[in-house]
Amino acid sequence: MPAGVPAQGPGGVSDAVPSAALLAHLGMSGQLLVRTSAEAAEQHRHLRVRLTLSGGLTLDFVDQRTFGHLSVQDLAPTPDGEPGGLGSDLALLPVPALHIARDPLDPAYRPDDVARAMRRRRTEVKRALLDQSLVSGVGNIYADEALWRAGLHYARPTQRLRQSDAVRLLAAAEGVMREALVQGGTSFDALYVNVNGASGYFSRSLAVYGQEGEACARCGAVVRRDAFMNRSSFWCPVCQPRPRAPRAPRVRVEPVDRPGASTA
């Protein structure tokens, strides 16, 4: 997920509205680590860029592989006129991030509006949840957990969701993300760490993702795994019933005219 930091002029703090921002694209393995100068003395093996921040902090861009990158990008007004995200008062975003919808932790995120937009789509609900132009920050694992919490099958057609279903699903996604944030994410190995460099423990509390063949924590049914969008979907067949196929149009049998039969 890209994160924009409005850039200041060479003289440091400036009151002028910035016209450019430093954009970090984390790729597969990039990390931004905020460290005190004491912590930063021990240099990370995969340190690519070090920025010195005010207040004795450093911001290290660390990437084991090299799919991530930093770039300076022009800023443009946000599509909804709201501030550019958590920690920013300016209604500006780096141009390459303009198409990315707000995530559930963004102060200007409006779940009722997102739910309505989701129901206007003609797709399966999990595809909508993973679509960064609708809502951002929900990956495959969080999507499965949110669908399980909301009791919705991943293939439910968005256009047949009630507004209350869509709102409940988005609230579940937000809940999963907030809990994961507290616990440090779903990192499965030491490669993925939070801004303080600690790896995630949330993977230990996953209810359904990766639980194929295990008992559902809510009802005891056996959790299933399906292939979905080149990845996996884990779901409970009882808590998340598969949607019924749309009813086939009924064939109307026209009465055949028989000789001697009266016509009404």
Question: Which spans of this chain sit near Zn ion (rule: CB under 5 A)?
Answer: 216, 218-219, 221, 236, 238-239
Per-residue tokens: 18? 């910035």
Provide the residue type at 16 as one letter: A
Alpha carbon separation from 259 to 39, 254, 255, 263, 264 (Å, rounded): 98, 15, 12, 10, 14
Minimum separation from the CB atom of position 240 to Zn ion (A): 7
Alpha carbons within 13 angstroms on the beta-carbon side of residue 253 total 2
Decide if 34 contacts 57 (C-beta within 8 A). yes
Minimum distance of Zn ion from residue 215's CB (angstroms)? 8
Q: Residues near 55 by Cβ (< 8 Å), separated by ≥ 6?
A: none
Spatial distance between the Cα atoms of 26 and 147, rounded to a whole number of angstroms:
26
> Which is nearest to 172 in space by CA: 223, 133, 208, 120?
208
- Residue 76's DSSP bridge partners are 93
In angstroms, what is the minimal distance from the CB of 149 to Zn ion? Answer: 11
> How many Å apart are CA 262 and CA 258, to the nearest integer?
9
CB atoms within 10 A of CB 113: 11
Residue 53 contacts residue 12 (beta carbons within 8 Å): no
